[in-house]
């Protein structure tokens, strides 16, 4: 089993001022990372990390996740290095294959096959790691290189993560059993690397609620004397 510390990330969106406020709130309530998605019509995924990092100086920043087929490795590595430098080494790189074909069309980009998109994720992970590990890279990142997260759920993406990622993000839209099977696939694919790769999971929708009474003693949370009260 892995020995990575437990940590939490919050994926946010909105205007720059809303992103700054969300980052501040996330920092105040105990998050470790704030992240931005990568979609047309949403905040620029790298540039917008800078005001968030400024607003929340203790948080790490990253993307959930950059669509690798939108970019070219050397150009993206340059921008990632600049963000890592500007945030004092707080960047976590997130890479995915992209799925929204309409966004590729709107951007005037080809929408490669699923297999080709996975190949592009691998190309980006390998090249970005190589470039940002090079002490001569300019601009110079603080982290050499920043950690690379690969997000996916198919066999090829999880195999890519097993070989090339520091963090694997399981994007399971299925049942818990499906996630268990996917984690098992990843573990087998990673072999000796399995314990070294940090495992991430994203809750796409949080509908949890704060109970109005303690489930054990039925007292309103402020009055509940038990340390296990959900409302404390």
Partner 1 sequence: MPDDELRGKVTYLPGPVEEAADRIRSLHETLGITYFTFIMSPSVTFETLERLLAALR
**Binding site residues, partner 1, CB under 8 A:** 1-2, 4-13, 22, 25-26, 29-31, 33, 35, 64, 167, 169-176, 178-180, 183, 198-211, 215, 228-232
Closest distance of CB 188 from partner 1, Å:
14
Looking at 52-192, which runs of residues are DSSP E strands? 60-63, 66-67, 91-96, 148-152, 167-170
With vertex at residue 45, the alpha carbon angle to CA 39 and CA 51, rounded to the nearest 5 degrees, is 140
CA pair distance 144, 127, nearest whole angstrom:
13
Contact 163, 145 (CB under 8 A): no
Closest distance of CB 84 from partner 1, Å:
19
- Of the pair 46, 229, the CB lying nearest partner 1 is at 229
Contact 39, 4 (CB under 8 A): no
Closest distance of CB 180 from partner 1, Å:
7
Closest distance of CB 14 from partner 1, Å:
9
Closest distance of CB 217 from partner 1, Å:
13
- Of the pair 139, 147, the CB lying nearest partner 1 is at 147
Contact 33, 9 (CB under 8 A): yes
Pair of tokens at residue 174 = 């299925």
- Of the pair 82, 230, the CB lying nearest partner 1 is at 230
Sequence-separated (6 or more) residues with CB below 8 Å from residue 160: 118, 121, 122, 125, 150, 152
- Of the pair 162, 171, the CB lying nearest partner 1 is at 171
- Of the pair 75, 204, the CB lying nearest partner 1 is at 204
């Amino acid at each position: 089993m892995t020995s990575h510390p437990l940590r939490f990330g919050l994926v946010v969106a909105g205007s720059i001022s809303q992103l700054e406020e969300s980052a501040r709130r996330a920092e105040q309530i105990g998050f470790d990372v704030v992240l931005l998605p990568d979609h047309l019509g949403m905040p620029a995924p790298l540039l917008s990390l800078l005001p968030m990092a400024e607003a929340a100086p203790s948080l790490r920043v990253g993307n959930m996740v950059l669509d690798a087929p939108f970019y070219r490795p050397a150009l993206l590595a340059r921008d990632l290095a600049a963000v890592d430098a500007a945030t004092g080494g707080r960047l976590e790189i997130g890479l995915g294959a992209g799925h929204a074909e309409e966004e590729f069309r709107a951007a005037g980009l080809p929408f490669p096959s699923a297999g080709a998109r996975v190949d592009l994720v691998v190309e980006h992970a390998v090249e970005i790691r190589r470039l940002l590990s090079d002490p001569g890279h300019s601009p110079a990142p603080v982290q050499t290189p920043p950690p690379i997260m690969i997000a996916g759920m198919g066999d090829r993406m999880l195999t890519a993560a097993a070989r090339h990622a520091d963090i694997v993000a399981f994007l399971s839209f299925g049942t818990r059993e499906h996630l268990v099977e996917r984690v098992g696939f990843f573990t087998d694919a990673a072999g000796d690397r399995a314990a070294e790769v940090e495992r991430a999971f994203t809750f796409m929708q949080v509908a949890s609620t704060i109970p109005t009474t303690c489930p054990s003693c039925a007292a309103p949370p402020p009055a509940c004397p038990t340390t296990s009260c959900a409302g404390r």
